[in-house]
Amino acid sequence: MNTADIRRQRGVPRFAGSGGCSVRPHLGGTFVNRYRRTAPTGPARRDFVRAGLGAVGLTAVGGPLLAACGSSASKSAASVGTGTTGPGPKNFGTLTYRLSWVENVEFAGAYIADSKGYYKAEGFSGLSIIPGGPSATPMETDVVTKKAIVAISSPDITGAAVAKGAPLKIIGAQYQKNPFVIMSMADKPIAKPEDMYGKKIGVQGANESVWNAFLAAAKLDASKITKVPVQFDPTPLTQGTVDGWFSFITNEPVDLGMKGFKVATMMLADHGYPLVSEVYIVRADTIASQRPLLKALLRAEIKGWTDNLKDPGLGASLTVNTYGKSLGLKVDEQALESKAENLLILNAETKTNGIFTVTDALIEQNIATLKTGGLNLSASQLFDLSLLKEVYQEDPGLIAALPAVPTPA
């Protein structure tokens, strides 16, 4: 089975039925690897995220989640990450951490924080990773039901759940720029949205909600663009079947580049779609009841990602040889993806304010963008960055340790 076959099989994130929460069980203790695939190069997280967005849209996520889990979440017997939070030695127990996809390099900072003992130094006895995947429950479900203390998600998915009443908050964002792009061949570049007029753009069925939201945000006339239904293998772009390709900056452009193709990319974030991504989500009540734990988590993550910003090869090596070993990933490919995601993490604002922070202006842009998709949320309903503010106030050295802002190769 090749990578494209696996991508085609990816479906909608499973929500529980009316009979109760359908939650993928996790194993306690230290790092646990529970996903195996047969493709040699491995799937990318963006297929799973796109499937979730495309099939359920921006406003349908929360209903099934809350119907299955909302009334029973507070009664969950699994108390994740509890421990000593008062004066004296910290003992937070095992950190249960839900990924948005399988253990690829997108989560390099967490791998580094674990392997270098940053979590342990902050008071966690171990790390239990719950990977995502085509059959995994939604990230929001695992946090609401307390199967995970924290998860990685995106504002549109989390916002849809919050709009339906899910008790969730975003406490930080790894990616300051949304990773979606329109990829084209370098000799026929699509440099601005209007360049798509009269062109054929390959758009995956799972991505139509994001595509439509972008068209609205960029005020484009959809009738002037030919949308071609495609899967995730970008070969049709190289063959001239389409002129542009909907993709993630960290994935398909890297794939084609490694095959010798020269491509151009137009980031949606630069043209009216400024959603941050790879956001940390937690239960809202956890912010009050386990504040020291969440601050410890953020400090460890900041240190791990700072190391990856300085040496993207480190995260790639840990991904291939340890955390994602069963996936059969390639170090050179993962290193290129690691460099690409570093460009989304560290910019002038986060260099000054600290990684994972989001400026007030960018938050308002996110809220405005979500409204174009039918989500009427206020900033305070979705975001709570007070933990990060305290972390950096208490340890400004975390900002001082950041390297220079990376530049594209």
pLDDT in tens, 134-176: 788 999 999 999 999 999 999 999 999 999 999 999 999 999 9
The pLDDT assigned to 303 comes to: 99
* Confidence band, pLDDT 50/70/90 cuts, at residue 22: very low
| pTM reported for the whole predicted model | 0.80
Q: How confident is the model at residue 86 (pLDDT cuts 50, 70, 90)?
A: very low
> How far apart, in Å, do the first and last CA atoms of the chain sit?
33
> Are 341 and 175 contacting, i.e. CB atoms less than 8 angstroms apart?
yes
Length of the chain: 409
Please give the pLDDT value at position 186.
Answer: 98
Domains observed in the chain:
3-175+276-400 (3.40.190.10), 180-270 (3.40.190.10)
- Which residue intervals of 3-44 are DSSP H helices? 3-9
Residue 68 near residue 15, CB atoms below 8 Å:
yes
List the single range of 105-114, 122-131, 192-201, 364-373 with lowest mean pLDDT. Answer: 364-373
Q: Which of 106, 121, 110, 81 is nearest to 283 (CA)?
A: 81
Cα 373 → chain centroid:
19
Q: Which residues contact 327 (CB under 8 A, 6 or more apart)?
A: 35, 36, 37, 42, 102, 103, 104
- The per-residue pLDDT for range 304-320, each reduced to its tens digit, is 999 999 999 999 999 99
Secondary-structure breakdown of the chain: helix, strand, coil percentages, each rounded to the nearest 5: 45, 15, 40
H or E segment to which residue 163 belongs = helix 155-163
> Which pLDDT score, from 0 to 100, does residue 390 have?
99
Using pLDDT thresholds of 50, 70 and 90, give the confidence band for residue 65. Answer: low
| 228 C-beta neighbours (distance < 10 Å), count | 16
How far from 374 is each of 155, 163, 167, 339, CA to CA, in Å? Answer: 13, 10, 19, 34
